[in-house]
Amino acid sequence: MSLHIGAKPGEIADFVLMPGDPLRAEWIAQTFLEDVTCYNRIRGMLGFTGTYQGKKVSVQGSGMGIPSALIYYNELIRDYGVKTIIRVGTAGALQPDLGLRDLVIAVSASTTSSILQEVFPQGIFAPTADFRLLEKAIGGASALGLSFHAGNILSTDTFYPESDPAYQAWTDYGVLCVEMETAGLYSLASRHRVRALSILTISDSLISGERTSATQRERSFSEMVSLALYCR
């Protein structure tokens, strides 16, 4: 086991879906997988392994924000040999044409986080999705009849911004939505040469002010999960 994950070697699949919310991880495992076992309860950050159409799949909560999520991404990649991580998260719309429950496939992730400044003091690294996984997800959306938006998203360190209007420049530059983990995931995946993709569901709009409830965010965003599983 690693410091934050209690699984024994071999208990975690090399393909892992990762919501921020550990209770969404539990819902995904119970709803979509067969022969499910729970391999992690440390800090309540639930992790499950089961099968989807006969293939081994794990689902692991990451917590909220890049610092928490990087702990789990690191341990899964380094200690458990995970090769593919698909984040299945919620996000706030930054464009007027994105409505509640719309799907967003994150081609790239801009960020307000300082994690990359430490590594690249001389420039700006552009965190991007794995191209083959992205291609597979786009094909999957078509096969499953799902409409989606694809493009640049924003990963912030703060859910409640200190300045107002905090997001105007991102909106002006066409960034689709805001969440809190993808730039960390894409950066670490690039460094370790593993595959990563974020598939998001719009849970609220920073343009219109509409929002879904906590329960809806935990238990009802099934299209992104079906699309992520299609990529297995």
Ligand X SMILES: O=P(O)(O)O[C@H]1O[C@H](CO)[C@@H](O)[C@H]1O
Ligand Y SMILES: O=c1cc[nH]c(=O)[nH]1
Cβ partners under 8 Å of residue 213, min gap 6: none
Beta carbon of residue 103, minimum distance to ligand X (angstroms, whole number): 14
Helix axes 222-230, 22-32, angle to 10 degrees: 70
Instruction: Provide, rounded to whole angstroms, the least separation between the CB of residue 156 and ligand Y.
Output: 6
Is residue 180 involved in binding ligand X (CB under 6 A)? yes
Give least dist CB 122 to ligand X, A.
29
Asked if residue 173 lies in contact with residue 108, where contact means CB atoms within 8 angstroms, the answer is: no
Distance CA 105, CA 141 (A): 10
Stretch that binds ligand X, among 26-34, 47-55, 173-181, 204-212 (CB under 6 A): 173-181
User: What residues from 142 to 161 belong to the interface with ligand X (CB under 6 A)?
Assistant: 159
Annotate 89-98 with b (16+ C-beta within 10 A) or e (fewer).
Answer: bbbbbbbeeb
For residue 106, state whether it binds ligand Y (rule: CB under 6 A).
Answer: no
> How many chain residues are in contact with ligand X, going by CB under 6 A?
11
Give 21 or 130: the residue with its C-beta nearer to ligand X.
21
| Nearest 10 degrees: Cα torsion 74, 75, 77, 79 | 140
How big is the chain by its Cα radius of gyration, in Å?
17
Indicate whether 159 belongs to the interface with ligand Y (CB under 6 A).
yes
Q: Residue 178 binds what, of ligand Y, ligand X, none (CB under 5 to 8 Å, by partner type)? A: ligand Y
Q: How many residues does the chain have?
A: 232
In whole angstroms, give the CA distance from residue 146 to residue 138: 9
204 binds ligand X (CB under 6 A): no
Site track 74-103 with ligand Y (rule: CB under 6 A), x = hit: ----------------xxx-----------
The answer to whether residue 75 forms part of the interface with ligand X (CB under 6 A) is no
Strands in 5-64 per DSSP E: 15-18, 34-40, 47-52, 55-60
Site for ligand X in 4-23 (CB under 6 A): 19-21
Note if 204 is an active site residue. Answer: yes
120 sits near ligand Y (criterion: CB under 6 A): no
Among 203, 227, 228, 230, the residue binding ligand Y under the rule CB under 6 A is 203
**DSSP 3-state assignment of 204?**
strand
**Is the Cα dihedral 44, 110, 224, 165 positive or negative?**
positive
Q: Which residues bind ligand X (CB under 6 A)?
A: 19-21, 64, 89-90, 159, 179-181, 217
Residues with catalytic function = 204
Q: Which residues bind ligand Y (CB under 6 A)?
A: 90-92, 159, 178-180, 203-204, 206
